[in-house]
């Protein structure tokens, strides 16, 4: 296009948790190109294919451009005006609240929404609706990270920064395939390994980084805790632990030492179905490293014992004195979506107020009540899976879903659909006619990250600015404006006119964000939390003086291996693992509508050659995959990336709804679904 570029906007990628800084070039009202920012503090001029083409979906033919409502469930959604849709939503929410009580309404917010939108959503739930039934999609991915890191260390975030990957001499990568799901991190790890760092990969799949690794522990899905305890066993028995650090700054070493006596490599090799040698070699490499770092993903968290997985993994860094010490490289959880960290930071959670202040803490709750000029209900609300259960039981009557396609993304789809159908009122915000929007009573057309103002927090706790490169299409509004509009129609003033106002208010009520404002971010650039002081930078590396626990010490966790919630058996002999592909983001609603990156136009069920041969199927063939909850037909790719007996599938395509299959089992601590293990039967069709 020979026409000149008329503007460039610096903003933050809205896809994965890396949070790359992107320069969005515009021609008039259209995005012309996106380039990675050379001075991007996280990405330093790098971006993956998703980020570089993260605008193709903006003008998709089926982009929603007006509110839709239906007056009865059997009728079609009809186009309507904003005034009518907002009035309808407000009237119905007020009616259900007044007739059935505030606890009959739930709000689900999203990592796709900015911090300010999440802040406003939880305030709307607590102040206007009067309920703590507010949760966000981190429930489905990294809730065990928040719980595990908080219990072990104090804060619900990673301990160090992306830059510390560059200094590590040994990288332990567990349950993550950053080459595809967090490509800029994947590239950074590759660079570091090529420069000489050792790499240990713990993953049931043979990923690109597993091929590059010094050791690949291809452990059976669900055996993480046993493997991490085996590594702790090796570190302790070989004396590769920092005894001074452990004595001064931790608790629980005696209990952990006693527990891991049972986790010798011989026993764990059987549990994890791996040879002993990789376990021993991984213990040696991690034990000899001067600057070890742990990077992990959803392969650790999305399990029935996901919180135990996080805590037993953190043990390894603590045993080496690799957290909270000079030059340490720490532990980094790779957040799946860009603002998973921020959505929880902002208190879109049923038990925590913004800044992780417990709802049950009277002083904290009173501070919010004073600033919000409204009492905050004291009892914790429902988590997302509990909301669906309550809807099916007739106790939850209205669900307000902001930016999530729960009918596609959440496990056990049939149960979710039954829950949605059981509600008297289903409201959603989306860019497109999603699976959830198709069954909603009210659909509000929402702006994308390229069309709105605010902030995201990335995987290393960095607040970064999100700026509108273009205006939303006519008829589309931001989540922020929609929530504020519904609140106003219910007679409430949420008190924040702009996203900047919301961030300022959040800084007043959440001490750990007190130093953060849009103005400061615009002037000085990104800030790590905690950032309690406007005159000081945020803390990029945590715990250099003390851990943020009650006693100031880190708590080693003596947690036993427990079997997963669902194991293969004679009827369902395979384990299905779900995950992502490089070119797609979650349910694919944006990336499938981006022509330049639609390199993967179909789902793929990866099967090991032995299993494929036994079934007589080849790449491109179709199989029926059946679990205890449903049946789906999927297209096969034969590859030895998966182990025999294990199949892997993405969840990006509505015509291949794999969550029809996935388990309703959840992490016992946090309610995070066990997406990574579903027992299935597979047969060719
Ligand atoms: Fe960066 Fe992730 Fe966006 Fe790719 S998807 S450009 S790695 S933030």
Tell me the three-class secondary structure of 3-60, residue by residue: CCCCEEEEEECCCCCCCCEEEEEEECCEEEEEEECCCCCCCCCCCCHHHHCCCCCCCC
Region 484-493: mean pLDDT is: 97
Instruction: Out of 182, 189, 466, give the residue to mutate to test ligand 1, the one with the largest number of ligand atoms within 8 Å of its CB.
Output: 182
pLDDT at 3 (0 to 100): 87
The pLDDT tens digits of the residues spanning 182-198 come to: 999 999 999 999 999 99
19 lines ligand 1 (CB under 6 A): yes
Sequence ranges of the chain with CATH classification 3.40.228.10: 143-334
CB hemisphere CA count around 231 (13 angstroms): 34
Q: Strand 425-430 and strand 331-333: pairing?
A: unpaired
The pLDDT tens digits of the residues spanning 420-441 come to: 999 999 999 999 999 999 999 9
pLDDT at 652 (0 to 100): 75
Sequence ranges of the chain with CATH classification 3.40.50.740: 68-141+338-393+416-525
Question: Most distant CA pair in the chain: distance in Å?
Answer: 70
DSSP state of 102: G
162 lines ligand 1 (CB under 6 A): no
- Distance, in Å, from the CA atom of 496 to the CA atom of 518, rounded to the nearest integer, reads 14
477 lines ligand 1 (CB under 6 A): no
Please, is 248 exposed, middle or buried when counting C-beta atoms within 10 Å of its C-beta (0-12, 13-18, 19+)? Answer: exposed
- Distance, in Å, from the CA atom of 249 to the CA atom of 207, rounded to the nearest integer, reads 36
Sequence ranges of the chain with CATH classification 2.40.40.20: 574-684
50 lines ligand 1 (CB under 6 A): yes
597 lines ligand 1 (CB under 6 A): no
Per-residue tokens: 239 = 């004396």
ipTM value for the complex:
0.99
- For 516, other C-beta atoms within 10 Å of its C-beta total 27
- Distance, in Å, from the CA atom of 317 to the CA atom of 500, rounded to the nearest integer, reads 38
Q: How far, in Å, are 28, 158, 176, 360, 540 from residue 243 at the CA level?
A: 62, 23, 30, 37, 26
Q: Which atom of ligand 1 is nearest to the CA of 43?
A: 1
Which region holds residue 330: left if phi is over 0, alpha if psi is between -120 and 50, else beta? left
Instruction: Out of 10, 12, 15, give the residue to mutate to test ligand 1, the one with the largest number of ligand atoms within 8 Å of its CB.
Output: 15
Region 320-343: mean pLDDT is: 93
47 lines ligand 1 (CB under 6 A): yes
14 lines ligand 1 (CB under 6 A): no
Element (H, E) at 414: helix 413-422
In sequence order, the 6+-apart residues with CB closer than 8 A to the CB of 144 are 300, 301, 303, 306, 307, 309, 310, 667, 669, 670, 672
CB contact at 8 A, 460 and 513? no
512 lines ligand 1 (CB under 6 A): no
Question: Coil, strand or helix: which one is 65?
Answer: coil
Task: Give the orientation angle of helix 224-237 with respect to helix 265-272, to 10 degrees.
Answer: 160
DSSP state of 129: I
Instruction: Out of 10, 23, 49, 50, give the residue to mutate to test ligand 1, the one with the largest number of ligand atoms within 8 Å of its CB.
Output: 50
Ligand 1 mean position to 22 CA, how many Å?
9
Mean pLDDT of the chain: 95
Given a cut of 90, whether residue 606 has pLDDT beyond it is yes
Per-residue tokens: 331 = 């532990």
Region 394-415: mean pLDDT is: 92
Ligand 1 mean position to 568 CA, how many Å?
35
- Distance, in Å, from the CA atom of 651 to the CA atom of 663, rounded to the nearest integer, reads 14
- Distance, in Å, from the CA atom of 297 to the CA atom of 402, rounded to the nearest integer, reads 24
pLDDT at 602 (0 to 100): 77
Ligand 1 mean position to 17 CA, how many Å?
7
The pLDDT tens digits of the residues spanning 534-590 come to: 999 999 999 999 999 999 999 999 999 999 999 899 999 999 999 888 778 877 778
Least confident of 326-340, 439-453, 466-480: 326-340
Ligand 1 mean position to 182 CA, how many Å?
6
pLDDT at 140 (0 to 100): 86
Per-residue tokens: 631 = 């049946």
Q: Which atom of ligand 1 is nearest to the CA of 49?
A: 4
For residue 313, give the nearest of 144, 437, 196, 130 by alpha carbon: 144
R_g of the chain computed on alpha carbons: 24
Least confident of 269-278, 306-315, 468-477, 646-655: 646-655
Q: Which atom of ligand 1 is nearest to the CA of 183?
A: 7
CB contact at 8 A, 679 and 670? no
Q: Which atom of ligand 1 is nearest to the CA of 51?
A: 6
- Distance, in Å, from the CA atom of 102 to the CA atom of 96, rounded to the nearest integer, reads 8
CB contact at 8 A, 307 and 149? no
Ligand 1 mean position to 408 CA, how many Å?
22
CB contact at 8 A, 181 and 205? no
CA angle 674, 676, 681 (to 5 degrees): 100
Higher pLDDT, 659 or 532: 532
Strand partners, 527: 463
**If you take atom 1 of ligand 1, which residue's CA is the nearest one?**
20
pLDDT at 596 (0 to 100): 74
pLDDT at 656 (0 to 100): 73
Given a cut of 80, whether residue 269 has pLDDT beyond it is yes
- For 206, other C-beta atoms within 10 Å of its C-beta total 18
Ligand 1 mean position to 653 CA, how many Å?
20
Instruction: Out of 51, 339, 580, give the residue to mutate to test ligand 1, the one with the largest number of ligand atoms within 8 Å of its CB.
Output: 51
For residue 42, give the nearest of 219, 162, 210, 209 by alpha carbon: 162
Question: Coil, strand or helix: which one is 154?
Answer: coil
Q: Taking the alpha carbons of 406, 408, 409, 410 in that order, is the dihedral positive or negative? A: positive
pLDDT at 653 (0 to 100): 75
Given a cut of 70, whether residue 7 has pLDDT beyond it is yes
Q: How confident is the model at residue 632 (pLDDT cuts 50, 70, 90)?
A: very high
Strand partners, 295: 173, 332
Model pTM above 0.90? yes
Ligand 1 mean position to 46 CA, how many Å?
9
Ligand 1 mean position to 183 CA, how many Å?
7
Given a cut of 70, whether residue 500 has pLDDT beyond it is yes
Q: Which atom of ligand 1 is nearest to the CA of 48?
A: 4
Ligand 1 mean position to 36 CA, how many Å?
9
**If you take atom 2 of ligand 1, which residue's CA is the nearest one?**
16
Architecture of the domain whose range is 143-334: 3-Layer(aba) Sandwich (3.40)
CB contact at 8 A, 125 and 107? yes
pLDDT at 413 (0 to 100): 85
Region 263-289: mean pLDDT is: 98
pLDDT at 603 (0 to 100): 79
CB contact at 8 A, 205 and 177? yes
- Distance, in Å, from the CA atom of 639 to the CA atom of 641, rounded to the nearest integer, reads 5
Q: Which atom of ligand 1 is nearest to the CA of 15?
A: 5
Given a cut of 70, whether residue 598 has pLDDT beyond it is no
CB hemisphere CA count around 120 (13 angstroms): 31
Q: Which atom of ligand 1 is nearest to the CA of 338?
A: 8
Provide CATH code, domain 574-684: 2.40.40.20
Architecture of the domain whose range is 68-141+338-393+416-525: 3-Layer(aba) Sandwich (3.40)
Q: How far, in Å, are 17, 92, 295, 347 from residue 178 at the CA level?
A: 11, 44, 10, 27
- Distance, in Å, from the CA atom of 458 to the CA atom of 529, rounded to the nearest integer, reads 11
In sequence order, the 6+-apart residues with CB closer than 8 A to the CB of 462 are 19, 41, 42, 161, 526, 527, 528
**If you take atom 3 of ligand 1, which residue's CA is the nearest one?**
51
51 lines ligand 1 (CB under 6 A): yes
Higher pLDDT, 480 or 55: 480
In sequence order, the 6+-apart residues with CB closer than 8 A to the CB of 579 are 177, 181, 298, 299, 648, 650, 651
Q: Which atom of ligand 1 is nearest to the CA of 19?
A: 8
The DSSP code sequence of 291-344 is SEEEEE-HHHHSSTTHHHHHHHHHHHHHHTT-SSSTT---EEE--SSTTHHHHH
DSSP state of 243: H
CB contact at 8 A, 354 and 122? yes
18 lines ligand 1 (CB under 6 A): yes
- For 683, other C-beta atoms within 10 Å of its C-beta total 11
Please report, rounded to a whole number, the percentage of residues in the chain having pLDDT higher than 70.
100
pLDDT at 599 (0 to 100): 67
Given a cut of 70, whether residue 178 has pLDDT beyond it is yes
Q: How far, in Å, are 223, 266, 487, 558 from residue 258 at the CA level?
A: 20, 17, 55, 8
């Amino acid at each position: 296009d020979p026409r000149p570029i008329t503007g460039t906007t610096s903003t933050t990628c809205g896809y994965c948790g890396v949070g790359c800084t992107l320069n969005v070039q515009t021609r008039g009202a259209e995005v012309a190109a996106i380039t990675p920012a050379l001075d991007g503090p996280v990405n330093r001029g790098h971006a993956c294919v998703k980020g570089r083409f993260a605008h193709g979906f903006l003008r998709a033919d089926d982009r929603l451009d007006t509110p839709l409502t239906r007056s009865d469930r059997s009728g079609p959604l009809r186009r309507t005006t904003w005034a009518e849709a907002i009035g309808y939503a407000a009237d119905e929410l007020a009616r259900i609240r007044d007739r059935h009580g505030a606890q009959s309404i739930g709000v689900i917010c999203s990592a796709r929404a900015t911090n300010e939108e999440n802040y406003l959503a939880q305030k709307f739930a607590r102040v206007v609706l009067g309920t703590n039934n507010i949760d966000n999609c981190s429930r489905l991915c990294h809730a065990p990270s928040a719980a595990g890191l908080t219990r072990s260390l104090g804060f619900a975030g990673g301990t160090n920064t992306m830059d510390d990957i560059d200094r590590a001499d040994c990288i332990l990568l567990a349950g993550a395939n950053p080459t595809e799901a967090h490509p800029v991190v994947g590239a950074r790890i590759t660079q570091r390994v090529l420069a000489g760092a050792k790499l240990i990969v713990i993953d049931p799949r043979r990923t690109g980084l597993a091929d590059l690794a010094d050791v690949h522990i291809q452990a059976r899905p669900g055996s993480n805790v046993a493997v991490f305890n085996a590594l702790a066993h090796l570190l302790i028995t070989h004396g590769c632990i920092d005894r001074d650090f452990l004595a001064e700054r931790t608790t629980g070493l005696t209990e952990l030492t006693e527990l891991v006596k049972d986790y010798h490599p011989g026993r764990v090799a059987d549990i994890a179905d791996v040879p002993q040698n990789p376990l021993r070699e991984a213990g040696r490499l991690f034990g000899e490293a001067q600057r070890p770092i742990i990077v992990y993903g959803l392969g650790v968290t999305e399990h029935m014992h996901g919180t135990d997985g996080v805590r037993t993994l953190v043990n390894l860094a603590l045993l080496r004195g690799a957290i909270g010490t000079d030059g340490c490289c720490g532990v980094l959880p790779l957040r799946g979506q860009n603002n998973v960290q921020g959505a929880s930071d902002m208190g879109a959670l049923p038990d925590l107020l913004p800044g992780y202040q417990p709802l049950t803490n009277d002083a904290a709750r009173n501070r919010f009540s004073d600033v919000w000029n409204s009492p905050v209900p004291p009892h914790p609300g429902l988590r997302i899976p509990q909301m669906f259960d309550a809807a099916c039981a007739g106790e939850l009557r209205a669900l307000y879903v902001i930016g999530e396609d729960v009918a596609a993304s959440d496990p056990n789809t049939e149960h979710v659909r039954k829950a949605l159908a059981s509600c008297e009122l289903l409201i959603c915000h989306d860019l497109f006619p999603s699976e959830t929007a198709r069954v909603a009573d009210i659909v509000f057309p929402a702006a994308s990250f390229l069309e709105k103002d605010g902030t995201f927090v990335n995987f290393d706790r960095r607040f970064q600015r999100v700026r509108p490169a273009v205006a939303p299409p006519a008829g589309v509004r931001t989540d922020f404006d929609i929530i504020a509009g519904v609140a106003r129609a219910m007679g409430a003033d949420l008190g924040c006119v702009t996203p900047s106002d919301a961030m300022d208010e959040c800084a007043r009520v959440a001490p750990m964000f007190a130093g953060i404002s849009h103005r400061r971010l615009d002037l000085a650039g990104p800030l790590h939390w905690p950032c309690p002081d406007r005159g000081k930078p945020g803390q990029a590396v945590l715990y250099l003086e003390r851990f943020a626990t009650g006693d100031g010490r880190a708590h080693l966790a003596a947690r036993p291996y427990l079997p997963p919630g669902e194991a293969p058996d004679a009827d369902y002999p395979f384990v299905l693992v779900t995950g992502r592909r490089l070119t797609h983001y979650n349910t694919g609603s944006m990336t499938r509508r981006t022509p330049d990156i639609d390199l993967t136009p179909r789902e793929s069920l990866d099967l090991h050659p032995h299993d494929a041969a036994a079934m007589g199927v080849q790449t491109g063939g179709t199989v029926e995959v059946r679990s205890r909850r449903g049946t789906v037909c999927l297209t096969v790719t034969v590859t030895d990336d998966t182990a025999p007996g294990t199949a892997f599938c993405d969840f990006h395509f509505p015509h291949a709804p794999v969550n029809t299959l996935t388990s309703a089992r959840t992490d016992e601590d946090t309610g995070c679904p066990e997406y990574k293990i579903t027992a299935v039967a597979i047969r060719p069709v």
